[in-house]
Amino acid sequence: MTSQGALASPAAAPAGAPAVSPAELRIYGLGGLPEVRPGDDLGALIGDAIAASGLGLEATDVLVVTHKIVSKAEGRLVELAGVEPSVLAERVAREAGKDARQIEVVLREARRISRMERGIIIAETSHGFVCANAGVDASNVAEGVVCLLPVDPDASAARLRAVLGARFGLDPAGAPGAPGTAPGVIVSDSFGRAWRNGIVNVAIGVAGMAPLADYRGQHDAAGYELRASVLAVADELASAAELVTHKLEARPVALVRGYVPPTDLPPGTARDLVMDPTRDLYR
């Protein structure tokens, strides 16, 4: 492993330096955005935050944007006062001690209910994501309002990429990572997992980058073909971003600098991260 890896290392080590110089990735949490409101030009606000940070924007960067500000800008907010709960929503809310109107919004956002127990609703969204409450969330929005996932988070990511590319002189149509190309954009949310405690940030929208790294057909140093090795790098980037954006902070955008895609796949979308129902053993 060592010798092949060293040969594959992009940076040749100067004499006296470590045999393998450390690879380095930096993640910046960008602040300074105002409270985002429906109709706001989110790309312009994020562009302002990048400009204020002094970091600029590079072709090999990846921007990770918390979906909450995307949803707010796109007006994906529901006033509970105007929601008439269904019979099922009333029953679930009563048993769980929750707001029936909020449960009703969850049911409306669901394409399919995967599990419904003890007030927990794990639902499949219109996008195919399986997550708690179909992505409906009451945090970081005004009292009496809940926030939905963007209608098409991939399109949201692509729009932000186009706006930011234009502002910083980077071409969304260029070859990914090549000089002058607009960087990858990820829209993220925090999802629970089967089997493990705690939620983690994942990618729900992707533009301008490959969400998966596919090692299949490649060989390790021992000659073993890596058959089961498809890495969900967009999810890993989203998780990495959460380490600087956090829940209560004023940093809804992270700029990842220095990420080198490990395999050479064309750009894709977050749909590539959704497991085909026929392959999913845990629907």
Q: State which of positions 1-60 bind a second copy (CB under 8 A).
A: 1-6, 8-9, 18-35, 49, 52-55
For a second copy, which is the closer residue by CB, 3 or 87? 3
Contact pattern for a second copy over residues 67 through 106, marking x by CB under 8 A: ----------------------------------------
Q: 């600029």: which residue's tokens?
A: 56
Residue of 77, 166, 199, 265 that binds a second copy (CB under 8 A): 199
CB 118 within 8 A of CB 96: yes
- Select the residue interacting with a second copy from 37, 193, 217, 264 (CB under 8 A): 193
Q: Give the nearest distance from C-beta 148 to a second copy in angstroms.
A: 16
- The answer to whether 136 and 102 are in contact (CB under 8 A) is yes
Which of 71, 181, 188, 201 binds a second copy (CB under 8 A)? It is 201
**Residue ranges in 107-126 that form contacts with a second copy under rule CB under 8 A:** 115, 117, 120, 122
The alpha carbon dihedral of 98, 85, 67, 135 has a sign of: positive
As a whole number of angstroms, the distance between CA 148 and CA 83 comes to: 14
182 vs 273 by CB, closer to a second copy = 273
Q: How far is the CB of 268 from a second copy (least distance, A)?
A: 10
Residue 54: Cβ-neighbour burial (10 angstroms; 0-12, 13-18, 19+): exposed
What is the end-to-end Cα distance of the chain in Å, rounded?
Answer: 38
Which 248-277 residues touch a second copy, going by CB under 8 A?
248-252, 255-256, 259, 262, 272-275
**Least spacing, CB of residue 69 vs a second copy, in Å:** 9
178, 179, 180, 218: residue in contact with a second copy (rule CB under 8 A): 218
Q: Confirm or reject binding of residue 244 to a second copy (CB under 8 A).
A: yes
Local structure of 253: helix, strand or coil: strand
Question: Which token pair is 56?
Answer: 């600029």
CB of 114 to a second copy, least distance (A): 8
Sign of the CA dihedral 123, 124, 125, 130? positive
The nearest distance, CB 237 to a second copy, in angstroms, is 7
Site for a second copy in 141-160 (CB under 8 A): 141-143
Encoded tokens for 224: 């073993």
**Residue in this structure with the two tokens 């008439």, named with its chain if needed:** 84
Which residues, including other chains, have CB under 8 Å from residue 189's CB and lie 6 or more apart?
66, 67, 131, 135, 149, 201, 202, 204
The reply to whether 278 sits near a second copy by the rule CB under 8 A is: no
Token digits of residue 114: 């995967």
Q: Is 236 in the site for a second copy (CB under 8 A)?
A: yes
Residue type, 263: T
To the nearest whole angstrom, how small is the minimum distance from the Cβ of residue 173 to a second copy?
A: 26
Handedness of CA 209, 215, 218, 222 (dihedral sign): positive
Phi then psi for 116, rounded to 5 degrees?
-145, 100
Q: Which is nearer to a second copy, 155 or 230 (CB)?
A: 230
Q: How far is the CB of 23 from a second copy (least distance, A)?
A: 4
Minimum distance of a second copy from residue 136's CB (angstroms): 11
